Structure 1
């Protein structure tokens, strides 16, 4: 899939959108080939996105996009309908939709970019759309994953891991067990205080661009209602290269200091979760053992000391 010739797609754009395509250039994502095409037209530069899920999921995503757009939130790309008014098209059993191409520069590890990223997250998290087409966030799922990871750890899952990963788990087993225990207790204690809101769902470096000195998010396909403080914690861990000063600047942009003690404790709990370790342990339990897993274990080992220092700096106990 994803290998449709450009000429066929150009014909679709001309016939269904009324666009004259001058050039089409495909781009890969981290895991998939030919996911996004930069389409230069007489109307402007647009993005043709190949949707890898079902039509039902795409339809739901479009409804969520509309709900967020109706709030006046300006961080979304424009979504284009076909001449017939449809929000997407099918081409040989694949789904495609058309939005604005956002041209910008990538995130740089600087105090200014970190602060502006925090501001962009805060702006998004404060938007209140109609939530009829959104999922309800489930705190128990967060608890279940951490609890299961702890159970696997205590059950000797390390024996099923590659040699280097097994050695790392054996060295960090006590700390990981203590972390899983604390996170589970904190989630159980604070779940009634968890505040829900709009989340992008994938705030990682490839999905952040800076346009006119403002952070913009792209690839909104995981848009949903979730826990904003969880997304803040993930974004801080994903983008700031485990740098304490840069995370502080990100939190300054978010107005973190205005949060009450309980909300700061919730952020600290989400920040403490070793997400890659949880993910890899759950995959190992299902028998997965790929090159991607091995590279993730290497990344975890290489960054572990910096992660622990970062977590302890922002701990609220």
Structure 2
């Protein structure tokens, strides 16, 4: 359990602004932070206090998105609470905080049943938020991946000469990484996929931005996503691919369960499936390993995961290619 002593006075002030008194506080860590959130037991219920790292304008935007989603009937996230001042956040001690309901649940099991529920929930997020009439945005998907692809090629050329674990791995698998990347980038540039992306730019969705097993809770019969600090306007297709990669474990039967749940809520056209298949084809983790290795960052754990799952990834790519043509 991380320290809470330094926050006690701040939390008392925050509690007063929300009209309750705190009886017990417990801190929780996350994948990225030792102290990510606090569970507070009060005289009016149990809530989560979340320190927010970012600007005031970003927090206002985030709270606005969360409130609009809840009003439109999306309940796959904890409900944000409004203080007596009417704001959905508070500033104390030079730091920003927001409060939500506390979700009591278990981690997602990665069972097919849970993956179907996750697929449905993510599709609801994308569908509901698309109806919010958000401002249009430029096509960042194609441009961002093209830039990352060329950066990968430059780094790979030097990395393969190095007598390191990463250098050895890419001497064996680098050519296939290039082939998969080239095919994906080419596909993203075809007219039908560019048309699909332009259509999405005119009517963007809100995306979670970090759908991982660690950010998913199963509570009773409902799936919840937590840690929404990266929520923004973005590509629902890329958000789907990230979620699929992080949760289905490159197992075709589990991928099928996730996509089945998604399409129950938001059916996908053939060209949308082809876009998803193209994004899934990109060896994203290989790009990251190459980047970290050339920038002197720690890459061992990610390389181990990449190496252990490489054959499964290739099978999963073939499966999603077939799915996209159905």
Normalised TM-score (structure 1): 0.90
Is 2:246 the counterpart of 1:221? Answer: no
Residues 136 and 44 from structure 1, CA distance in 2 versus in 1: closer, same or farther, beyond 3 angstroms?
farther
Residue 76 of structure 2 is matched in structure 1 by 75
Question: Once superposed, which parts of structure 1, at least 4 consecutive aligned residues long, lie more than 4 Å away?
Answer: 134-137
Residue 178 of structure 1 is matched in structure 2 by 179
Alignment deviations for residues 252-274 of structure 1 (CA, whole Å, 9 cap, x no partner): 11128942221111110111112
Which has the larger displacement, 170-179 or 191-200? 191-200
**Structure-to-structure mapping, 1:97-112, within 5 angstroms:** 97-112=98-113
| Residue 306 of structure 1, CA deviation | 1.1
Q: Distance in 1 between matches of 2:210 and 2:183?
A: 25
Residue 133 of structure 2 is matched in structure 1 by 130
Q: Is the 8 A contact 2:67 2:80 kept in 1?
A: no
Residue 200 of structure 1 is matched in structure 2 by 208
Residue 211 of structure 1 is matched in structure 2 by 219
- In structure 2, stretches of 5+ residues that fail to align are none
Q: Distance in 2 between matches of 1:240 and 1:69?
A: 27
Residue 319 of structure 2 is matched in structure 1 by 313
Residues 258 and 130 from structure 1, CA distance in 2 versus in 1: closer, same or farther, beyond 3 angstroms?
closer
Q: Is the 8 A contact 1:147 1:180 kept in 2?
A: no
Is 2:306 the counterpart of 1:297? Answer: no
Residue 148 of structure 1 is matched in structure 2 by 151
Q: Distance in 1 between matches of 2:159 and 2:116?
A: 40
Q: Is the 8 A contact 1:136 1:226 kept in 2?
A: no
Residues 238 and 24 from structure 1, CA distance in 2 versus in 1: closer, same or farther, beyond 3 angstroms?
same
Q: Distance in 2 between matches of 1:218 and 1:279?
A: 25
Q: Is the 8 A contact 2:83 2:89 kept in 1?
A: yes
**1:263 is paired with a residue of what secondary structure?**
helix
| Residue 197 of structure 1, CA deviation | 2.1
Residues 61 and 261 from structure 1, CA distance in 2 versus in 1: closer, same or farther, beyond 3 angstroms?
same
Q: Is the 8 A contact 1:6 1:24 kept in 2?
A: no
Which has the larger displacement, 80-89 or 267-276? 80-89
Q: Is the 8 A contact 1:199 1:224 kept in 2?
A: yes
| Residue 135 of structure 1, CA deviation | 5.8
- In structure 1, stretches of 5+ residues that fail to align are none
**2:273 is paired with a residue of what secondary structure?**
helix
**1:255 is paired with a residue of what secondary structure?**
helix
Alignment deviations for residues 72-124 of structure 1 (CA, whole Å, 9 cap, x no partner): 32223221222222322223222111111111121112221111111111111
Normalised TM-score (structure 2): 0.87
Residue 250 of structure 2 is matched in structure 1 by 242
Q: Is the 8 A contact 1:146 1:183 kept in 2?
A: no
Alignment deviations for residues 102-161 of structure 1 (CA, whole Å, 9 cap, x no partner): 1112111222111111111111111121314x86551211322223213332x323346x
